[in-house]
Structure 1
Amino acid sequence: MSYLSSFDLPPVLLDIPRNAVLAIGMPLVLGSLSGYPTSKVVNGPWYKSLQRPVVEPPNRVFGIVWSVPILYASMGYASHLAVKAYDSSLSPASRADSYDGLKLYYIQLGLNLLWTPLFFMAKQKGLALVDIVTLTGTTFWMTATLNHPTAGRSTLLLMPYCLWLTFATYLNGSFWFWNRGQKEVKKD
């Protein structure tokens, strides 16, 4: 993981997940703020005009997955487990994996928060696809990196998120593929 070794986390990014409430609350608040304007776009002419993926759940499923705070709370608590493993491990390898996993956590959180504005606000399906492919890969990498130091507990918390991101990547890719070259509907 030489790339991850090239930068250190600011101390505050280690301090936040040390408190379980802050660890869970931070992604919940940031995710809510990022997704807040989405419902207007989903109910607007641009989104309704898009050709749909072959398999697409009803819009209410997205509300359940993201507005019910399960995925954000799970990723937040996984960061808490990672920093606890970092603080308590006597093994240099486990400590390094915990630290690298926390770096990946913040990278994936940033990518996660960027996706909604890219797809729904900027209406950039292709850029959103690049973001979500990177997000999904980073999240799987984070999950694998944190598995050993947290004795698999973080993996149990992150696996539903990994699965959802895999499906969301398919959806984004389908929206991009089926709507290439579509002229933007101007009234949103």
Structure 2
Amino acid sequence: MSTPIHIPAILLSIPRSPLTAIGLPLAFGLLSGSTTAKAVKGQWYQNLLVPPGRPPRQVFPIVWPLLYISMGYVSHLAVKALDVAVSPTSRSDLSISVLLYYAQLGLNVLWSPLFFMAKEPGWALIDSVLLTGLTFYMTSLLDGPTGSKTTPFLLPYCAWLTFATYLNAGIWFLNRRRPNVRKED
């Protein structure tokens, strides 16, 4: 028999309402991305070499809010499933998934400051790889206990994170030895 995983009450209460479940990642995403619009117009970002396939910058403010809405709704579905789960395995998977949700949200929020403010594509890449791995794992853990209800909401997020990690890796790789790419703007 598995040991129950303790989740602080606040982490369960926030996603109980769909409004707060969706609002939390949207608010954190807005906070994290607030400096991004200025940074992408700055000299540092404009001078970076980028890998093939980077979409126009106008795509990002459309895609990310949709992904934040999806991930927030998934947190709501996960907590609702946890409320009614009877099986110890399901309860464990759901509990771990709720903790992973908050961990991936934290990593998600951290990425923009690492990349755009600190101008550290290498550290941002480490964050992105961890974020992507946690999100794939969370997606797989949630699938069974939620009757696959969460998977359609998380698969686009997993795909986007994979693509974003490719872009981040390409930027890091292409610029890692370029002394003319300075951090000052």
* Equivalent position of 2:51 in the other structure: 53
One-letter code aligned to 1:138? L
TM score, norm. by length of structure 2: 0.94
* Equivalent position of 2:62 in the other structure: 64
Mark the runs of 5 or more structure 2 residues left unpaired by the alignment.
none
8 Å Cα contact 2:5/2:92 also seen in 1: no
* Equivalent position of 2:122 in the other structure: 126
SS at match of 1:182: coil
* Residue 88 of structure 1 pairs with residue 79 of structure 2: no
TM score, norm. by length of structure 1: 0.93
Query: Which of 7, 10, 14 is the matching residue for 1:9?
Result: 7
1-structure distance, mates of 2:52, 2:11: 40
1-structure distance, mates of 2:160, 2:103: 18
* Equivalent position of 1:140 in the other structure: 136
Query: Which of 23, 39, 62 is the matching residue for 2:21?
Result: 23
Percent identity of paired positions between Structure 1 and Structure 2: 56
Mapping 1:97-108, distance limit 5 Å: 97-108=93-104
* Equivalent position of 1:35 in the other structure: 33
Change (3 A) 1:175 1:186: closer
Q: Which consecutive segments of 4 or more residues in structure 1 shift more than 4 A?
A: none
Change (3 A) 1:6 1:114: farther
Mark the runs of 5 or more structure 1 residues left unpaired by the alignment.
none
Change (3 A) 1:80 1:186: closer
In the TM superposition, what is the alpha-carbon distance from 1:9 to its structure 2 partner?
A: 2.4
8 Å Cα contact 2:119/2:183 also seen in 1: no
SS at match of 2:146: coil
* Equivalent position of 1:117 in the other structure: 113
2-structure distance, mates of 1:164, 1:96: 27
* Equivalent position of 2:42 in the other structure: 44
